[in-house]
């Protein structure tokens, strides 16, 4: 079989799980990687079918490759080439890209939701990385994908909050007030915070924003809130879920340093603290 011929037929795939993936990669030869459900299966997603149950294997190739899909292989073209991960000796797309390619071919809302939620709850990647790929693939116009993204972001925030609680507990930080709103006495609402130490006027805010079309507006709103609080003498520590997951000790040190430095700062303005 001449693999360089654009329309070369694919020989029948053996039904031995990963061997089918090797045949699909061999069809495209150089500059290719598995993506979609095949990649998620190799990434050990419980909500993805096992290799032997996947009838149509997605392979990612550069946009300029002259290669066509066959009955067993769907050719997916990439304008931006991601860095593949090697699993079982096969080149595999990273989870966010594999998810986007899988979702593009799925119409079952339940399956899409389970895949996206597992990406975060299983520790495969951060919600923002998933949403970036879905946005790039123009999938955020599909109602069932938008619903799944909302569940994904809720899952991501819940996990980040649990890690924040763990950080305070494991590193012996003083107990803060959790999930509060701040207001000026008789004045406007200043915004919600994930943790607040009123005696030291130190706040922690988790950044669980996801990049969407309105992200610039959200970022501007966040920046305005932070600047307003800091003008009132409140130190705001900004922590992302990724930093909490990968470097919790460093984030604990940042918060502890801010708490210890409180005595060297001018007293903060009086604010009203309310449960959120």
Whichever domain contains 198, its CATH number is 3.40.960.10
pLDDT (tens digit per residue) in 186-242: 878 888 999 999 999 999 998 876 555 445 555 567 778 888 899 999 999 999 888
- DSSP class of residue 186 equals T
28 and 152 co-located in one domain: yes
* Matching residue, tokens 């930093």: 243
Q: Of 122, 140, 158, which closes a domain?
A: 158
- Give pLDDT, residue 219: 58
- Expressed as residue numbers, the domain containing 29 is 18-158
In sequence order, the β-bridge partners of residue 239 are 206
Q: Is residue 2 part of a domain?
A: no
What's the number of domains the chain is made of?
A: 2
- pLDDT attached to residue 177: 96
Residues of the chain with pLDDT below 70 are: 1-17, 28, 209-220
Distances (CA, A) of 164 to 154, 158, 205, 244: 15, 10, 10, 7
pTM above 0.85, yes or no: no
**Same domain, residue pair 82 and 152:** yes
Residue with tokens 């990649």: 39
Neighbour-count burial of 181, counting CB atoms closer than 10 A to its CB (0-12 exposed, 13-18 middle, 19+ buried): middle
- Quote the CA–CA distance of 114 and 46 in Å, as a whole number: 9
Residue 274 CA to residue 136 CA, distance in Å, equals 39
Strand arrangement, sheet containing 202-206: 235-239, 202-206, 189-197, 177-183, 272-275
Q: Does residue 233 lie in a domain region?
A: yes
The angle at the Cα of 117, spanning 248 to 111, to the nearest 5 degrees, equals 165
pLDDT in tens, 48-67: 998 888 888 999 998 887 88
Same domain, 138 and 23: yes
- The candidate with the shortest Cα–Cα distance to 190, out of 271, 251, 90, 256, is 271
End position of a domain, from candidates 158, 178, 211: 158
Same domain, 220 and 166: yes
- Pair 87, 48 in one domain: yes
Pair 186, 269 in one domain: yes
Note whether residue 1 is domain-resident: no
**Domain end (from 91, 125, 158):** 158
């Amino acid at each position: 079989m001449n693999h360089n011929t654009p329309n070369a037929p694919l020989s029948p795939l053996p039904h031995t799980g990963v061997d089918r993936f090797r045949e699909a990669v061999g069809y495209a030869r150089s500059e290719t990687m598995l993506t979609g459900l095949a990649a998620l299966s190799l990434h050990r997603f419980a909500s993805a079918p096992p290799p032997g149950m996947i009838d149509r294997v997605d392979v990612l190739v550069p946009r300029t490759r002259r290669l066509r899909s066959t009955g067993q292989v769907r050719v997916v073209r990439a304008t931006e080439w991601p860095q593949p991960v090697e699993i079982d000796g096969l080149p595999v797309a990273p989870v966010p890209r594999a998810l986007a390619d899988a979702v593009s071919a799925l119409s079952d809302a339940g399956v899409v939701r389970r895949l996206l939620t597992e990406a975060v709850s299983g520790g495969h990647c951060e919600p923002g990385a998933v949403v970036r790929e879905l946005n790039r693939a123009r999938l955020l116009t599909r109602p069932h994908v938008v619903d799944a993204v909302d569940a994904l972001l809720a899952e991501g925030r819940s996990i980040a909050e649990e890690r924040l609680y763990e950080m305070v507990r494991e590193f012996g930080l003083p107990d803060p007030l959790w999930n509060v709103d701040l207001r000026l006495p008789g004045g406007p609402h200043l915004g919600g915070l994930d943790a607040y130490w009123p005696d030291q006027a130190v706040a922690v805010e988790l950044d669980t924003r996801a990049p969407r079309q309105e992200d610039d507006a959200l970022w501007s709103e966040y920046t305005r809130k932070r600047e307003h609080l800091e003008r009132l003498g409140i130190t705001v520590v900004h922590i992302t879920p990724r930093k909490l997951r990968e470097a919790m000790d460093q984030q604990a040190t940042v918060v502890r340093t801010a708490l210890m430095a409180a005595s060297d700062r001018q007293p903060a303005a009086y604010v009203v603290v309310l449960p959120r």
